[in-house]
Structure 1
Amino acid sequence: MISVPVGALEVAMVQAGVRAVDTLRDTGAFARRLDDLGYRRLWYAEHHHSPAIGAFPPVVLIAHAAASTSSVRLGSGGVLAPNHAPIMLAEQFGTLAALHPGRIDLGIGRGPGTFDEATARALRRGAGPATDDEYRDDVSATLRLLVDEMALGPLPEPWLLGSSTAGAALAAELGLPIAFAHHIRPDNTLAALHHYREHFAPSRWCPRPRVLLCVETVCAETPQEAARLAGPMDVVKAGLLQGRGDIPFPTPEEAGVHAFTADETRALAAFRAHQAHGSPETVARRLSDLVAATHADELMLATPVHAVADRLRSYELLKEHIAPAASGR
C-alpha cells in the first residue's frame, strides 16, 4: 500500500493520427477524472515544437482544469524560468491562486522545453541558455514578485524542479520544496536528495525539507499489457538517445514492430529498472520501495502512454493501492 500522497504529471502526448486540438480537449476530461479519483496534484509540463508533446502553456491548462474540478491541486511541472519574465509568472500564478485559493502550485524549472535550438533561442529572444546566476535570479525574482504583486491575497505553492545536485542545491538555498525528476535522471536521485536535505535553509515558503518524487509509471492489468503501452515512449526515448527530438509519438502497434538496436535495448531496460511498470501489485510495490529508499513526502506519476483512456486506466488501477489517508485533500 502506498502511504504518501500521489499526483500526476500530464505532458499531453499527441497521438499518431490525432490532431493536437483533440489532445488538448482530452486534458479537460483527464483532469476531471483525476479529481474524481482523489489524486493530490495534477501538473502540466512546458514543451515547445515537439511532434510528440503538445505545446500547450501550463498556465492555460491550469486555468482550464481549475474551472471544471473542485479538489485536485493544479500546477506547472513546470514553467521554465529562462523562457518567461519573472513578473509575468508572478502575475499569472498569483491570479490563478486568487481565483482558486489553496489549489495552485507554481513549479519552476530551468530547461529550454525543446530539443530544437532555433526554438530555444526564439523563446529567449535570441539569447543563449541561462547561466546558473541568471536562473537563480529569475527564481528569486519570481518569488519576491509573487509577494509584492499579490500583497495580502492567497499565494500559489512554489516548488523547484530538479534533476541534478545543482538543482537540489538551489532548492535548499532558497528554502523551497523540490520536485525531483526521477523519471528523467534516476541515477542522480539519491545523491541530489541527500545534498538537498543536508543543506536546506528554512524559509517562509517551506519550514523543512520536502520532496516530491516524479516516477514514470505504466500500470495495466498484466505486465504484458503494461509493456505494450510503454512501447511508444520507448521509441521516443530511443530517438533521444540518438540526439533526435523530432520523433513522433507512435501507436502501440507501430512501436511493437520498431527495431531497437542492442544498445538501445540495454539502455531502455536499465532506465525501466528505476521506474514503475507492470501490474497494479508490481507498480504499487515498486513505488512503495522508492518512497522507502528516498524518503519522499509525495509521489508524482508520469504516464506517457498513447491513448487518454489507457492513461486514465493506469491511474484507476493504481488508486486501489493508495492508502485513503494519503490523498492529502
Structure 2
Amino acid sequence: MVDIPLSALEVAMVQAGTRAVDTLRDTAAFAQELERLGYHRIWYAEHHHSPAIGAFPPVVLSAHSAASTSTVRLGSGGVLAPNHAPISLAEQFGTLAALHPDRIDLGIGRGPGTFDEATARALRRGAGPTTDAEYRDDVAAVLSFLVDEVALGPLPQPWLLASSAAGAALAAELGLPVAVAHHIRPENTRAVLDLYRTAFTPSRWCGQPRVLLCVEAVCAETEEEARRLVGPMDVVKAGLLKGIGDIPFPTPEEAAVHPFTEPERQALAGFRAQQAVGTPEAVVRRLGELARETGADELMLTTPVYAFRDRVRSYELIRKHVGA
C-alpha cells in the first residue's frame, strides 16, 4: 500500500534513431498526461554533452510544461548550483514562481551534469570542481537572493538533492527538504536519511525533516515486458560501470542482444533489486516497502524507458494500482 504522494523525475532520454528535438516535443504532453493521472510534481534534471540525455535547461522545461498544465507542480531535480550564478538561479525560478504561483520547485544539486571534463570546465568558465565550502555558499546565496533581491510574490519551494552524507548534512544545516537519490546510490540511502533527520535545523523553508525518495520504477503488464523495457537503461548503466558516460540510449531490440558480462549482469541485478521493476502488483508492493523502510513523505519515480507511450503507460499502471 502506498499512501503518500507520487511524483515523477523526467531525465529526457534521447532514444537511438531519434533527435533531441523529438524528445523535447514530448515534454508538454508528458506533463499533461501525468497531471491527468494525478501525479503531484514533475522535476527535470540538468545534463550536458550526453548522447542519451537531452541538454535541456530545467527552468525552460518547467516553464514550457507549466504553460500547458494547471495543477501539477514543476521544477528542477535538479539544477546544478556549480554551473550557475546564484542570482541567476534565483531570478529564473523566482520569475517562474511569480508566473505560476505555488506550483514551482527549485531542486538544487551539486554534480556537473556531465562526464566530459571539457564540458564541465566550460560550464564552470574554466574553474575546477566545486569544493564543499563553495557549494554551501552557492546554495545559501541562492536562498538569500530569492528572499532579499528577486522576490516577486510567491517563492519557489527550494529542495536540496542528496546522495551522500555531505548533501544530507547541508540540507539539515540549511533546513531544507531533501530529495534522496535512491535511484543513483541506493547503498547510501539509509545513512543519508539518518544523518539528515538527526541533524535537521528548522528554517523558514521547512519546519521539520521532509523527505522525497527518488526511485527507478518501470512497470508493465508482465514481468517479461518490464524486463524488456529496462534493457536500454541496463546498457547505459553497464557503460557507467566501465567509466563510459557517452553511450547512446539504445532500442529494446538492441539492448536484448547486448553482450553483458557476468559481473555486469550481477551488478545490474543487484541494483534493480533496490528499485521497483515488474508487474503493477510487484512495483506497488516494492514502492510500499521503500516508503515504510525509509519513512519518506513522498516518492518520486523515474522511468528511463525507450518509447514515450511505454513510459507514460508505466506511470499509468502504477497510479491505477496504488491504493487498490
TM-score (norm 1): 0.97
Deviation at 1:124, TM superposition (A): 0.2
The Cα offsets for residues 81-103 of structure 1, whole Å up to 9 and x where unpaired, read as 00000000000000000000000
Letter in 2 for 1:78: G
Gaps of 5+ in 2: none
User: In the alignment, which residue of structure 2 is the partner of 1:35?
Assistant: 35
Give secondary structure in 2 for the equivalent of 1:77.
strand
Counterpart check, 1:229 vs 2:224: no
CA distance in structure 1 between the partners assigned to 2:24 and 2:287 by the alignment: 29
Counterpart check, 1:71 vs 2:48: no
User: In the alignment, which residue of structure 1 is the partner of 2:144?
Assistant: 144
The Cα offsets for residues 128-165 of structure 1, whole Å up to 9 and x where unpaired, read as 00000000000000000000134461100000001011
Deviation at 1:246, TM superposition (A): 0.9
Deviation at 1:28, TM superposition (A): 1.1
Deviation at 1:284, TM superposition (A): 0.2
User: In the alignment, which residue of structure 2 is the partner of 1:297?
Assistant: 297
The Cα offsets for residues 179-228 of structure 1, whole Å up to 9 and x where unpaired, read as 00000000000111011000000000000000000000000001110000
CA distance in structure 2 between the partners assigned to 1:287 and 1:181 by the alignment: 15
The Cα offsets for residues 231-250 of structure 1, whole Å up to 9 and x where unpaired, read as 00000000000000110000
CA distance in structure 1 between the partners assigned to 2:14 and 2:113 by the alignment: 16
What is the correspondence of 1:156-167 to structure 2 with a 5 Å cutoff?
156-167=156-167
Give secondary structure in 1 for the equivalent of 2:120.
helix
Is the 2:71–2:103 Cα contact (8 Å) retained in structure 1? Answer: yes
Counterpart check, 1:169 vs 2:169: yes
What is the correspondence of 1:72-221 to structure 2 with a 5 Å cutoff?
72-151=72-151, 153-221=153-221
Counterpart check, 1:275 vs 2:275: yes
User: In the alignment, which residue of structure 2 is the partner of 1:15?
Assistant: 15
CA distance in structure 2 between the partners assigned to 1:151 and 1:311 by the alignment: 36
What is the correspondence of 1:247-266 to structure 2 with a 5 Å cutoff?
247-266=247-266
What do you get for the CA RMSD once the two structures are aligned? 0.9
CA distance in structure 2 between the partners assigned to 1:322 and 1:268 by the alignment: 26
CA distance in structure 2 between the partners assigned to 1:110 and 1:145 by the alignment: 18
Gaps of 5+ in 1: 325-329
Give secondary structure in 2 for the equivalent of 1:106.
strand
CA distance in structure 1 between the partners assigned to 2:322 and 2:262 by the alignment: 37
Letter in 1 for 2:286: R
Deviation at 1:323, TM superposition (A): 4.0
Q: After alignment, is 256-265 or 143-152 more displaced?
A: 143-152
Deviation at 1:321, TM superposition (A): 2.4
The Cα offsets for residues 236-274 of structure 1, whole Å up to 9 and x where unpaired, read as 000000000110000000000001001101110110110
Letter in 1 for 2:42: L
Is the 1:2–1:321 Cα contact (8 Å) retained in structure 2? Answer: no
CA distance in structure 2 between the partners assigned to 1:171 and 1:199 by the alignment: 9
- Runs of at least 4 residues off by over 2 Å: 149-152, 321-324
CA distance in structure 1 between the partners assigned to 2:316 and 2:186 by the alignment: 25
CA distance in structure 2 between the partners assigned to 1:322 and 1:138 by the alignment: 39
Counterpart check, 1:54 vs 2:87: no
Is the 1:94–1:149 Cα contact (8 Å) retained in structure 2? Answer: no
Aligned residues: 324
CA distance in structure 1 between the partners assigned to 2:90 and 2:19 by the alignment: 32
Give secondary structure in 2 for the equivalent of 1:214.
strand
Distance 1:151 1:94, change over 3 A: closer
The Cα offsets for residues 75-126 of structure 1, whole Å up to 9 and x where unpaired, read as 1000000000000000000000000000000000000000000000000000
TM-score (norm 2): 0.99
